[in-house]
Copies of this chain bind each other. A is one copy, B any other.
Amino acid sequence: MILVLKQGISKEDTDNICLWMSKFGVSANPIFGSGTTIIGLVGDTSSIDVHLFDNDERIEKVMKVQEPFKRANRKFHPDDTIVDAGHGVMIGGSKIIIAAGPCSVESDEQVGLIAGAVKDSGAKIVRGGAFKPRTSPYAFQGLKAEGLMYMRNAGQRNDMPVVSEITNPSQIELFNDYVDIIQVGTRNMQNFELLKELGKSRKPILLKRGFANTIEELLMSAEYIMSSGNQNVILCERGIRTYETATRNTLDISAVPVLKRMSHLPVFVDPSHAAGMAWLVEPLSKAAIAAGADGLIIEVHNDPKNALSDGQQSLTPEEFSGLMNKLKPLAELMGRSI
């Protein structure tokens, strides 16, 4: 941590700050310049809140030298984390894992059918929403617990792990019972109460980036889960909000290599939500794999035109099968497999 002092600060003031800092157990090293004096703080500065100096009239600004996340940081954990999703599915290893399924679970039969179809095409995980966070209170809100039950059925019948989105800490028991991977949606990435509860679960957490959150904030939210005890976190880029309106969100493709470099956690991409349109899913899926993603989560619906939510971005099982046939050789070119 570096303190930049105000111009014209006295030697005495500088010494006083150094003395003050030494009480935090760090070593304070002043550098006297012609115009500016700075103090370099060396040692464990984690106990010093960066805002401690905010109203200190002697200090111009404070600069952090180190990243604020530890457990998610590749520096302290150089090897890739591999998350065991159950049913033999390992996330973050040499295989690229594709999760697919409907935006909303609509019936036991529907999700079972789709699960079987996507599995035949090579998907390893079935996805489906039971608790739906919708911008409008007048839109379909999901089948809730019943939907989770259908998800579990679909997973068991097809021997696949299932992933579904949680929206409230009170649902955790239900999710512990019914799903293999718990998804945190974009609107809940900074629902810290929820993250802390998920830290007590042993289930893998698919943590989606908030649509207006930075990469560092995503890693800080992973840190919430990990510091509460659950190390099985999968990060997921799903598009951010920008001024551009031609697509629903702007897929931040650079986030994939940046996250892989900063963290040891697996990185997924959700091309369906980033694009908002089915025809964009193919080019964005290819781009994600080319950029190094460990997996994709793709919306597939047997009848997109009559889907209860997000039909416009869903592929049919046939389209999904065609996509998978294109992604497989691409994965191999990248030294991996699907």
Contacts and interface: CB of A to CB of B under 8 A. Distances in A.
B240 A250 contact: yes
A40 B4 CA distance: 11
**Chief secondary structure at chain A's binding surface:** mixed
Nearest to A141: B192
**Which size class do A's interface residues fall under?**
35 or more
Interface string A48-74: 010110111000000101101000000
A168 interface: yes
A217 interface: yes
Given A167-B193, A170-B169, A243-B212, A138 B46 contact: yes
Given A2-B2, A170-B169, A330-B290, A244 B253 contact: no
A88 interface: no
Interface of A: 2, 4, 7, 27, 29, 31-36, 38, 40, 42-44, 46, 49, 51-52, 54-56, 63, 65-66, 68, 75, 131, 133-139, 167-170, 187-188, 190-194, 196, 210-212, 214-217, 220, 223-224, 227-228, 240-247, 250-258, 261, 274-275, 278-280, 283-284, 286-292, 304-305, 307, 309-314, 329-330, 333
